[in-house]
Structure 1
Amino acid sequence: MTTVIKAFSALSDQTRMSIVEQLMTEGELAAGDLIEGRGMSGAAISRHLKVLREAGLVRQRVQGTHRLYTVDGHGLRAIADWTISKRAFWEASLDRLDAAITLEDQA
């Protein structure tokens, strides 16, 4: 459960969520490529990447003087597994909500 808590905590920040989404869309990127368009310093992006690494959501590899980042599928799988395990709860809750709204609309 600790892995999922760390992952959700890391993704609760808009910048970190957008970094993960960018890596999912574009694949492996250098840290410098992640700075573009965010109006942040390299140090700020580096701090965000550290949080994502510690949460198990991104991996880093060194190539010469570059730090390359990619999404870590294990971290995302932990989130997906947790979400799927709660599916029955959410479906039942949404069904009850739908029934309550329907009753209210009929009244």
Structure 2
Amino acid sequence: MIEAANITTVLRTLADPTRRAVFERVAGSDEISVVELTRGSGVTQGAISQHLKSLKQAGLVVERPEGRNVYYRARPEGLEPLADWMDHYSAFWRDRFANLRTLLKEIDP
């Protein structure tokens, strides 16, 4: 079964729209620095750093320091609790779609 603490952490972390946007930018690049994430975001570097800290604690990103810069990359396996949770309920949706398909065939043979 799904570990409640892990899914709760991931969902809470990604619930914040700014943090989700930061994660999407990190996931959309091989590696990205705090400076690059701040540029054009409309958010301060301090705020970006705090969001990255939360993402790191949730296991969604990893960091690599290099000199004065810190580079971040997405950690896809960090989304596993979310994927597992969604997979757990996929049977519900499969049944609903099967019922919808049957209903549509009855309405429009």
Equivalent position of 2:75 in the other structure: 72
Equivalent position of 1:61 in the other structure: 64
Which secondary structure does the structure 1 equivalent of 2:62 belong to? strand
Contact 2:13–2:19 (CA<8 Å) still a contact in 1?
yes
- Gap runs ≥5 in structure 2: none
Which secondary structure does the structure 1 equivalent of 2:56 belong to? helix
Equivalent position of 1:50 in the other structure: 53
Q: Distance in 2 between matches of 1:48 and 1:71?
A: 13
Give the paired residue count: 102
Equivalent position of 1:30 in the other structure: 33
Contact 2:61–2:74 (CA<8 Å) still a contact in 1?
yes
Q: Distance in 2 between matches of 1:95 and 1:45?
A: 44
Counterpart among 15, 18, 22 of residue 12 in structure 1: 15
TM-score normalised by length of structure 1: 0.81
- Gap runs ≥5 in structure 1: none
Contact 1:23–1:29 (CA<8 Å) still a contact in 2?
yes
Compute the RMSD of aligned alpha carbons: 2.0
Matches within 5 A, 1:71-90: 71-90=74-93
Q: Distance in 1 between matches of 2:95 and 2:81?
A: 23
Percent identity for Structure 1 against Structure 2: 31
Higher mean displacement: 40-49 or 86-95: 86-95
